[in-house]
Amino acid sequence: MKITIAQQNYHIGNFESNTAKIIEAIKEAKQQGADLILFSELCVCGYPPRDFLEFSDFINKCYNAVDIIKEHADTIGVVIGSPARNPKFEGKDLFNAAFFLYEKEIKAEVHKTLLPTYDVFDEYRYFEPAFDWNVVEFKGKKLAITICEDIWNLGDNPLYRICPMDALIKQAPDLMLNLSASPFDYTHNEDRKAVIKSNVLKYKLPMFYCNTVGSQTEIVFDGTSLSFDKHGNLCKMLPMFKEALETIVLNDDGTIDAPVIERAEYLPDTEFAAKEFQPALNLEMIHEALLLGIRDYFKKMGFTKAILGSSGGIDSALVLTLACEALGPENVRAILMPSPYSTEHSVNDAEALSKNLNNPYDIIRINSIYESFLETLQPLFKDLPFSVAEENIQSRIRGNLLMAIANKFGYILLNTSNKSELSTGYGTLYGDMAGGLSVLGDCYKSQVYALAKYINRDKEIIPANILIKAPSAELRPNQKDSDSLPDYAVLDSILYQYIERRLGPNEIKALGFDSATVDRTLKLVNTNEYKRNQFCPIIRVSEKAYGVGRRVPIVGRYLS
């Protein structure tokens, strides 16, 4: 049997585009002589559709798209993902479903059983779990069709009390198909392969796994669709972060007609990566994920041009470099806004970067605007000493100028804050925290430096001086980040243990970190939740990013 995997980038709610993509892939699969083509989870509407699922018209459009697609499923079996109505008078109104189309008919409808409700997932809000489990018969083969999370309930500590494949295996299937929408994070790739291989080894069946690709606001999907033979050998792996279509020959004995990429006995070592923060881990993946996040945000929103404040610091330098690579340097405008406390070398560094990138830039000195603010506020401030108030005025002036230019010329403002700053509240609301998209909000400062060095691996793009000088907001004389924060190497390691690993203060201290530094750091994180709650979407690259995947109370007292 020839099986085609269609790894595609969908646009949530853009039924015309999604349907056209699916039909084009079906045509190509037919030309390649495929018997069956497999698409990803909720491909008809895009994943995650969230509260769009509460609109009857949205569900009607899903069904209309299925009707159009099934007309092309004449001589080929087609497996697509779409919401399906629940005809029973119990439970929620919808299922997360896979439709099996053949001979221009819906031959079968398979419902997802395990509905994730953690991190970025909220499926039980909308869907009812499956009531029953049945294989689908096609061309003399029995297909065990599952949807994403349905294959993730193996291991010593299963998350759910049921495993759909345990029911399906009793019907003697010949192969497993899985439609997936599994988000990217830089530690997830090996785990995903291990889960799929575990299913193959447990049930002794080949697996064809189709994952979606593309970015949906903050969530990035990397694709990396996989095929394993019945012995647990990885035989096909589609590329990361790219659309792809691959036709694979499955032999009757459960082997795959392709060279083995990884043998069943391959055991990746992912344990160390999970326990300790490694700023240089999988930089190429993070780099590609950030580029895709920027490109898709602009393309799917209909934006073409970006703007950002270029300070001569490492964060804005990295964002500018990534944006130029993702959108083209001609579409990214940098604004340099030196204040009375900006050093001339910072201006020179920012200019040098834009010249290296060949992107347009402007210099707007904010000294006079800053002085006018101080003069206006003088009757209230009187002779009170210089404080964070005067520092933040500079940041908010810059935010206003950037937004004014963005409004006038149709730019989208890219935010340049990193995860270390967002964690500790080291940023100014309505100032340097302004923006339509956060590029580095899920990258710690240590990762920012590592990414900058990765970008400079072949030639100097980001000027060397930006990488070696001490980081500073330059909002007061001789200011350094180290005046307000612990050393970033220590800070980022503590933050990683608290945010990604969810360890409490005593558990973190037991790892050898200074007790006072841990207490101070965690207090900063918890007391600045109100700032992050007002922040723009963040491109997610870790297993626990700020935003929709992390929900803590703003006024909570825990660990504060």
Question: How far is residue 49's CA from residue 126's CA, in Å, rounded to a whole number?
Answer: 10
Q: What does the radius of gyration of the chain's CA atoms come to, in whole angstroms? A: 26
The response to whether 118 counts as a known ligand-binding position is: yes
Alpha helices in 10-110 (DSSP H): 15-31, 56-70
Residue identified by tokens 């790219």 is 242
Helices 344-357, 314-327: axis angle to 10 degrees equals 20
Cβ proximity of 103 and 73 under 8 Å: yes
Cβ proximity of 153 and 183 under 8 Å: no
The response to whether 254 counts as a known ligand-binding position is: no
The response to whether 480 counts as a known ligand-binding position is: no
Cβ proximity of 290 and 439 under 8 Å: yes
Q: Is 76 left (phi over 0), alpha (psi -120 to 50) or beta?
A: beta
Question: How far is residue 208's CA from residue 102's CA, in Å, rounded to a whole number?
Answer: 19
What's CA 402's distance to the chain center, in Å?
Answer: 26
Tokens of 493: 């390691």
Collapsing DSSP states into helix, strand and coil, what is residue 123? helix
Question: How far is residue 378's CA from residue 174's CA, in Å, rounded to a whole number?
Answer: 79
| C-alpha dihedral sign at 401, 403, 407, 410 | positive
Catalytic residues, by residue number, are 41, 112, 148
> Phi and psi dihedrals of 507, rounded to 5?
-65, -40
Question: How far is residue 93's CA from residue 101's CA, in Å, rounded to a whole number?
Answer: 22
Nearest in space to 7 (alpha carbons), one of 175, 239, 290, 235: 239
The response to whether 182 counts as a known ligand-binding position is: yes
Collapsing DSSP states into helix, strand and coil, what is residue 408? helix
Cβ proximity of 39 and 6 under 8 Å: yes
Question: How far is residue 262's CA from residue 248's CA, in Å, rounded to a whole number?
Answer: 16
Name residues whose C-beta falls within 8 Å of residue 188's C-beta, 6 or more positions apart in sequence: 182, 543
Question: How far is residue 465's CA from residue 447's CA, in Å, rounded to a whole number?
Answer: 18
Question: How far is residue 399's CA from residue 498's CA, in Å, rounded to a whole number?
Answer: 31
The response to whether 310 counts as a known ligand-binding position is: yes
The response to whether 314 counts as a known ligand-binding position is: yes
CA dihedral 417, 420, 422, 427 (to 10 degrees): -60
Helices 488-499, 445-455: axis angle to 10 degrees equals 110
CA dihedral 409, 411, 417, 422 (to 10 degrees): 100
The response to whether 416 counts as a known ligand-binding position is: yes
Tokens of 529: 């939740």
Q: Is 313 left (phi over 0), alpha (psi -120 to 50) or beta?
A: beta
The response to whether 313 counts as a known ligand-binding position is: yes
The response to whether 312 counts as a known ligand-binding position is: yes
Cβ proximity of 227 and 208 under 8 Å: yes
Question: How far is residue 178's CA from residue 39's CA, in Å, rounded to a whole number?
Answer: 9
The response to whether 316 counts as a known ligand-binding position is: yes
- Name the binding residues: 118, 182, 309-316, 392, 416, 421, 531
Annotated binding site for L-glutamine: 118, 182
Binding residues for deamido-NAD(+): 392, 421, 531
Residues in the annotated binding site for ATP: 309-316, 416
